Structure 1
Amino acid sequence: MMGEIEHGEIRFDIAEREAQVIGDGPRIAALTGDAVDVGTLGLVNAVRNGAGAVSVTPDKIPDYMRTMMKHPELFVRQMEMGTALFNGRIPARERELAILRIGWLTRAPYEWGQHVDIAKRFGVSAEEVERVTRGSADPGWSEHEAAVLRGVEELIGDHAMTSETWEVLARSWDEAQMIEFPSMVGQYVTIAFVQNSLRIMLTPENPGLSHR
């Protein structure tokens, strides 16, 4: 991927990738639930509610979040950014298509599996989830949806969007949405880097990269 724009399908062995980034277990242990304060719990549930998920008690907070809490300053900013994006200007379905493409291109098991479920809450079908793995070149997308996926591909592959992609998105999105899009891509690429590097474990509810 690095240094080139990949608009189509990328092939990799799911089992090998998951063995690489989660197989040896977490590199940093998550905080226990009793170490989570009320304010931090509120931040977590604000993000969850924005994603259409139910509130949780401290012991049910995902391991990823309880691991990030070991760097409270970063965790708070990450939660604030997550809240801003889930309540942002880009329609939820389009946001989730973009995040799925990010999760697939970064081969991030935790991010991909989690956002398959979130995407389905906002109207993305299992067939469309599979189509995301084939990228913007798949003929099933509308012109705008293909541009959303292509924008992700260009930002990850070349660190910039082409004029063609920009112009297609700008026909439907206003200036605030155009600012939000690369910011959102950067946020979820960062999350994938952290999850893959810290070896955040999958849960029984999250099948990882095989999830459809």
Structure 2
Amino acid sequence: MSNILTPFMPPYSPALSAVMKKYPEQDGYLLKLFRVFANSARFAKKGVPNLLDKDSPLSLREREIVILRTTANNECEYEWGVHVAVFASAAGFTKEQIAATKNSNANAPVWNEKEQILLAVIDDLSHSGTIYDDKLAGFQQYWKKDEQLEIFALCGTYHTVSFVANGARVALENFAVRFPEV
């Protein structure tokens, strides 16, 4: 038996099948990353789907800024590319903003003040696990308590997603967008 993480292929056990039905599919296709999660029923059950619901206190745009910046900070082209392909248009991102999630600092002029603070907070969390004092007041001003917790959870979850996708060397999806040139 190999200990190499690869996308788990159906048929799944009845218990695992029930868990995997909670993950979003596109025309019956389940992403390779989600099938990597299926190598552990426990991990698949506790994984990502609970944060990708319509009940999030964050707007789609804010949620995607967190996800794109976190995955970019972790050099996770797989997940970054999936989210750009699937959500960037609905989130209202321009081509310049998409590129800036990967290649620009948080103060890039393509973002408004609130978004610049969010990007700077994500950078702090990604690089040090905390929010530096110079950004904390702005963060608390713009986001309510439940939104702050959602941002922390998304950032942490997408660190984990990045670790899994990168560590398992998950091949890019055919429809995914590639990182922009520097």
Q: Shared fold (TM-score greater than 0.5)?
A: yes
| Aligned pairs for 1:45-194 within 5 A | 45=24, 54=26, 56-57=27-28, 60-83=29-52, 87-117=55-85, 118-132=87-101, 133-194=103-164
TM-score after normalising by structure 2: 0.85
Corresponding position of 1:203: 173
How many positions carry a matched residue from both structures?
174
Q: Which segments of 5 or more consecutive residues in structure 2 lack a partner in the other structure?
A: none
| Contact residue 113 and residue 207 of structure 1 kept, 8 A | yes
TM-score after normalising by structure 1: 0.74
The structure in which a higher percent of residues are helix is 1
**What SS class does the counterpart of residue 193 from structure 1 fall into?**
helix
| Contact residue 77 and residue 179 of structure 2 kept, 8 A | yes
Post-superposition CA distance 1:134-181 (Å, at most 9, x none): 020212321110011001110111211023322212222211111221
CA distance in structure 1 between the aligned counterparts of 2:161 and 2:119, rounded to whole angstroms: 18
Structure 1 residues 204, 210: CA separation in 2 closer, same or farther (over 3 Å shift)? farther
| Contact residue 92 and residue 122 of structure 1 kept, 8 A | yes
| Contact residue 108 and residue 209 of structure 1 kept, 8 A | no
The AA in structure 2 aligned to 1:145 is E
Q: Which segments of 5 or more consecutive residues in structure 1 lack a partner in the other structure?
A: 1-26, 49-53
Q: Percent identity?
A: 19
Q: CA RMSD in A?
A: 2.1
